[in-house]
Amino acid sequence: MYIMLNRRWDQLIILGLFLVLSTACSTAPYRYESLENFGLKQRAVTKQQDAIQVRASVPSMEEAEQILGFPIYKRGIQPVWLEITNNSPNRARFVHVSVDREYFSPLEVAYMHKKQFSKQGWQDMERHLMDTAMPRLIPAGETRSGFIYTHANTGTKSFNVDVFYSGTGKPVYEEFTFFVNVPGFVPDHATVDWKNLYDKDSIRDVSIEQLRTELRELPCCTTNREGSGQGQPVNIVLVANGIEVLQTMLRAGWSETSYEKDDNYLNNVNYLFGRPPDAVFRKSRGRSTLTTDRNELSLWLTPLRNDGTGVWMAQIKHAIGQRYKINEIFFGAAQDPDIDDGRNFLLQNLWYSQTLLAVAYSDTGLAVPVSNPKLDFNNNAFFTDGGRIVMWLSGDPVALQDVKNFDWDKQATIRSKEQ
Amino acid sequence: MKFHVRMLLINFMTIGALLLLAACASSPTYHPDSSMPEGDWKARAQSQQANGIEVTAAVPSAKEARELFGMPLYKKGIQPVWLRISNSRETGVNFLPVGLDPQYFTPLEVANADLKEKDAANPTNVVDEFFIQQGLGTLSVEPGETRTGFIFSKLDEGTKAFNVDIIGSAIDGSIRDFDTFTFFIPVPGLNIDHYNVDWRNLYADDEWTDLDDQQLIEIFEKMTCCVTDKKGKGSGDPLNLVIIGKPRDIYTAFIRAGWDETETVTRTSTLKTIGSFLSGGEYRYSPISGLYVFGRPQDVAFQKARVNIHERNHLRLWMSSATYEGEPVFIGQISRDIGVRFTSKTITTHKIDPDVDETREYLLENLVYAQALEKFGYVGGVGEVSFDNPKGNLTGDPWFSDGHRLVLWVTSEPVAVDDLEFVEWRRPY
């Protein structure tokens, strides 16, 4: 029996080595499926500006593997399919870096995946990726299509497509902004029954001046599931309709999330208006050696409307220290106790992504000094100047200097060093 | 399993040793000492003034930052930037740190960079008043007020380039104005290659020639297609760039477009390269091997790291003795590294993207979007090389090209994307 076992182990080891070796020098030919077998073109989002038409579509992880013949998402790369029609009398140029500042080149993608294939397979793959790459130039009156390889993100893919062409005199510059659904991902905001969040009677439409007063009546802070423990202040208010909130956050570099609403989630998450967040977005930091890199924004729709537009309350958590549970609610060893920084960061983040129409300062009614931090129900320390920022969002880009400032309250300066 | 780990380790050590040899062998002959003294970091502060706002900025080096904060911040990829903002206006202004670094670190994030789960058990442990005091506090600067403190940004060694954005408002609070102060502050600690180039004496006075359009096209189309080795032999990567501008403008333009300067090869830098080679991590300033034009290695090299050391873009420039409208003309070469491979010539080298035109066009877009380009055009000179019949560089990597050199007029003054000019000399497409 003992010998038998050993022999079996030997066999397993030999089999294992064989497998390792066989994958190291693969003899597999390169195979892929035709793009036409997938609904990419049919479901493409189409935009037209003057003489240029752009269509865009993003294959899911599974589709991409079949279309390209290798699991490209596993390398953090997401192909975006584009089709550009140039109806101008001159040739047009599509700018690759407008989609992703650090896009991957077709032969780079091929090189990353070459080990899966034989030498001939690699060459075939190179040829195929070159042939199916989105070209830069679109001759007058013609259409070109193909893939550009971008950094992958979860949820709806948002990107720009910039096209230049020579007009009379100066070159014409068209900028298209896309928000493309990627099959297979259901963001948490898609599962909310928006229509029935509030009774018709409880929804109230108010003017900007009334909103100033009404905001003071809203709760300062979140609670736990039972409503027995106090959470952190809700120090952000956004005024925008749902689709604008989504597009604004995507444009500012945030990603959608898809939390499983199990007990573990519900017992730890912050509640407002008796419910967990209606939508959660995340933003990670790129090049950093720190292990914690995430901001998380939780949003709740309020029963208030400002001149017909939705009013949302929000709070930001920013993890510090080393991360110990990935993809769970507690994504860092601790949260940054300076909760004003998250609030101020969002203000700037929206400002620089040109999605901010106006700003006003209000307060939560809860100021907590640095010298005596408070604990929330999850035992996170926090301190705050008590300020709450109200931001009106815009679907159309707003220049940095065109942001309006409503003179409500003076910006809180409780924490200034001089005091 | 253990066996595998040990084998891997031995392999890595061998590769490391060989790399060391390879790097030493190609070491260019630059002066080893840096001209930036360490010690008094505030003495290196720079000031700018506009519309009643004065901004002073200084950047402590790795050593200085460690002394100031008692933590090796640079090792954690964090660089403190000290600011003093004085507001002599009659209305308040706001400073926006996102303009300096879109992903700046908060003081408490820096203070807790080493925080572990067990340390977080006492939640108030994370509140570190020393670090809070080092920050700027609030972002508003009231009339007559001066605010000082550090912003913690991601690390850029060599020259730190950043903006300080100030938003102002009128007395009624409705109209805002936006002032941007752009700083380029050299930080000691790296031996940057171009600090050591004696630009004035590269050529004798009578060697310089100012060219008109036709002469520039003619001379640069006749110039050698490719780089050579030290002995002037072989034919390597194609010289697919012509860059027009003063060294200072070129360096400002590339830094603004997110490129990193390159350290001269010294013992420390070689060790740093090996470290990041083994870990696959980022050493963004690693020296790059010398390739030869005009009988000398590149005068300047820039690189742009992407995910890790294996994936970066390299760019080498040589100053020619030609000028165009009084501006120096450089010839250059750009390649995109797509992985590491082993070769008989340099043991390990970066595998480059064979589609060198793709990389060339990437650079064009990169500089345009950084608003660092005034004009561009093309000349020939590389010679057409097809995908099916590629040429090889000095380490045997294949490349193919439409045969054109991209001519770039770089600028240190921002140029709006739609003000870019195309000079119709040659059309590659």
Q: Which of A92, A18, A85 is nearest to A53 (CA)?
A: A85
Statement: residue A303 has pLDDT above 90: yes
* Residues A262 and A332 both lie in one domain: yes
Q: Give pLDDT tens digits for B257-284.
A: 888 777 655 545 555 555 554 444 555 6
* Coil, helix or strand at residue B313: strand
Chain A interface test: which of B138, B154, B309 (most A C-beta within 10 Å): B138
Chain B interface test: which of A288, A346, A414 (most B C-beta within 10 Å): A288
Q: How many CB pairs under 8 A join A and B?
A: 179
Q: Sorting pLDDT into bands at 50, 70 and 90, what band is B305?
A: confident
Q: Looking at the DSSP assignment, which residues form a beta bridge with residue B313?
A: B304, B336
The separation between CA A290 and the C-alpha centre of its own chain, rounded to angstroms, equals: 20
Q: Which residues of B touch A385 (CB under 8 A)?
A: 138
Q: How many helices (H) and strands (E) does chain B have?
A: 9, 22
Q: Tell me the average pLDDT across A149-161.
A: 89
* Residues A164 and A275 both lie in one domain: no
Instruction: Give the residue numbers spanning the domain of B224.
Output: 2-31+192-423
Q: Sorting pLDDT into bands at 50, 70 and 90, what band is A326?
A: very low
Q: Sorting pLDDT into bands at 50, 70 and 90, what band is B418?
A: confident
Q: Which residues of B touch A345 (CB under 8 A)?
A: 98
* Residues A306 and A333 both lie in one domain: yes
Return the pLDDT at A19: 56
Element (H, E) at B160: strand B159-169
Q: How far is CA B32 from CA A93, B175, B190, B263, B273, in A?
A: 45, 53, 10, 10, 17
Instruction: Give the residue numbers spanning the domain of A150.
Output: 30-180
Contact A336, A376 (CB under 8 A): no
Contact A67, A32 (CB under 8 A): yes
Contact A119, A44 (CB under 8 A): no
Q: Which of A229, A366, A331 is nearest to B120 (CA)?
A: A331
Inter-chain contact B127–A287, Cβ cutoff 8 Å?
A: no
* Residues A58 and A112 both lie in one domain: yes
* Residues A199 and A340 both lie in one domain: yes
Q: Sorting pLDDT into bands at 50, 70 and 90, what band is B2?
A: very low
Q: Sorting pLDDT into bands at 50, 70 and 90, what band is B171?
A: low
Q: Tell me the average pLDDT across B129-148.
A: 90
* Residues B164 and B215 both lie in one domain: no
Return the pLDDT at A117: 93
* Residues A103 and A199 both lie in one domain: no
Q: Smallest Cβ distance to B418: which of A173, A336, A400?
A: A173
**Number of domains into which chain B is organized:** 2
Inter-chain contact A137–B106, Cβ cutoff 8 Å?
A: no
Residue reference for tokens 């572990």: B116
Inter-chain contact A348–B96, Cβ cutoff 8 Å?
A: yes
- Residue A354 to residue A342: CA distance in whole angstroms: 18
Q: Is residue A71 part of a domain?
A: yes
Q: Smallest Cβ distance to A290: which of B76, B98, B368?
A: B76
Q: Which pair of structure tokens corresponds to residue A334?
A: 């601790």
Contact B12, B278 (CB under 8 A): yes
Looking at the complex, does the CB of residue A232 fall below 8 Å from at least one CB of chain B? no
* Coil, helix or strand at residue B402: coil
How close does chain B come to A219, measured CA to CA in Å?
A: 24
Q: Tell me the average pLDDT across A384-403.
A: 88
Q: Smallest Cβ distance to B124: which of A286, A344, A373?
A: A373
Among candidate residues A163, A180, A197, the one where a domain is terminated:
A180
How close does chain B come to A196, measured CA to CA in Å?
A: 38
Q: Which residues are within 8 A (CB) of A200 and not within 5 positions of it... i.e. 6 or more apart?
A: none
Q: Is residue B428 part of a domain?
A: no
Q: Tell me the average pLDDT across B186-195.
A: 72
* Residues B92 and B50 both lie in one domain: yes
Tell me the CATH number at A145: 2.60.40
Q: CB neighbours (10 Å) of residue B51?
A: 11
Q: Are strands B78-87 and B53-58 parallel, antiparallel or unpaired?
A: antiparallel
Pick from B72-76, B94-98, B196-200, B291-295: least confident: B196-200
Contact A327, A375 (CB under 8 A): no
Q: At what angle do helices B2-25 and B267-279 cross, to 10 degrees?
A: 150
* Coil, helix or strand at residue B280: coil
Phi/psi of residue B181, each to 5°? -110, 120
Contact A117, A85 (CB under 8 A): no
Among candidate residues A151, A180, A209, the one where a domain is terminated:
A180
Chain A interface test: which of B85, B100, B112 (most A C-beta within 10 Å): B112
Q: Is residue B101 part of a domain?
A: yes
Element (H, E) at A242: helix A242-251
Contact A412, A363 (CB under 8 A): yes
How close does chain A come to B321, measured CA to CA in Å?
A: 33
* Residues B143 and B226 both lie in one domain: no
Long-range CB pairs of B42-47 (<8 Å, 24+ gap) are B42/B82, B44/B185, B44/B186, B45/B82, B46/B183, B46/B185
Inter-chain contact A318–B127, Cβ cutoff 8 Å?
A: no
Return the pLDDT at A293: 59
Q: Which pair of structure tokens corresponds to residue B284?
A: 């963004």
Contact A414, A385 (CB under 8 A): yes
Contact B74, B62 (CB under 8 A): yes
Q: Which pair of structure tokens corresponds to residue A22?
A: 């066989």
Return the pLDDT at A232: 96
Higher pLDDT, B66 or A102: B66
- Residue B178 to residue B187: CA distance in whole angstroms: 28
Q: Give pLDDT tens digits for B39-49.
A: 788 888 999 99
Pick from A149-153, B25-29, B275-279: least confident: B25-29
Among candidate residues B130, B152, B186, the one where a domain is terminated:
B186
Inter-chain contact B127–A288, Cβ cutoff 8 Å?
A: no
Q: Is residue A16 part of a domain?
A: no
Tell me the CATH number at B181: 2.60.40
- Residue B92 to residue B111: CA distance in whole angstroms: 30
* Residues B235 and B356 both lie in one domain: yes
Q: Give pLDDT tens digits for A74-96.
A: 988 999 999 999 999 999 999 99
Return the pLDDT at B427: 81
Q: Is residue B20 part of a domain?
A: yes
* Residues B414 and B386 both lie in one domain: yes
Q: Is residue A75 part of a domain?
A: yes
Among candidate residues B169, B186, B203, the one where a domain is terminated:
B186
Chain B interface test: which of A94, A103, A111 (most B C-beta within 10 Å): A111
How close does chain B come to A404, measured CA to CA in Å?
A: 6
Q: Give pLDDT tens digits for A18-51.
A: 555 545 557 889 999 999 999 999 999 999 999 9
Q: Is residue B358 part of a domain?
A: yes
Q: Which pair of structure tokens corresponds to residue A366?
A: 């809860």
Higher pLDDT, B165 or B199: B165
Q: Is residue A117 part of a domain?
A: yes
**Number of domains into which chain A is organized:** 2
* Residues A197 and A116 both lie in one domain: no
Statement: residue A330 has pLDDT above 50: no
Element (H, E) at B218: helix B213-222
Q: Which pair of structure tokens corresponds to residue B318?
A: 């040589």
Among candidate residues A145, A180, A215, the one where a domain is terminated:
A180
* Residues B25 and B67 both lie in one domain: no
- Residue B177 to residue B166: CA distance in whole angstroms: 8
- Residue A241 to residue A310: CA distance in whole angstroms: 5
Inter-chain contact A111–B113, Cβ cutoff 8 Å?
A: no
Q: What is the ipTM of this complex?
A: 0.76
Q: Is residue B429 part of a domain?
A: no
Query: What does A95-151 look like in DSSP terms, one character per residue?
Result: EHHHH-TTPBPHHHHHHHTGGGS-HHHHHHHHHHHHHTBPPSEE-TT-EEEEEEEEE
Q: Give pLDDT tens digits for B336-345.
A: 988 765 554 4
Q: Which of B195, A287, B27, B281 is nearest to B273 (CA)?
A: B281
Q: Smallest Cβ distance to B77: which of A130, A288, A400?
A: A288
Amino acid at B55: V
How close does chain B come to A186, measured CA to CA in Å?
A: 28
Contact B81, B153 (CB under 8 A): yes
Q: Give pLDDT tens digits for B78-113.
A: 999 999 999 999 888 989 898 888 888 889 888 888
Q: Is B368 exposed, middle or buried (0-12, 13-18, 19+ CB in 10 A)?
A: buried
- Residue A342 to residue A344: CA distance in whole angstroms: 6
Contact A313, A389 (CB under 8 A): no
Inter-chain contact B117–A333, Cβ cutoff 8 Å?
A: yes
Q: Which residues of A touch B358 (CB under 8 A)?
A: 105-107
* Residues A138 and A220 both lie in one domain: no
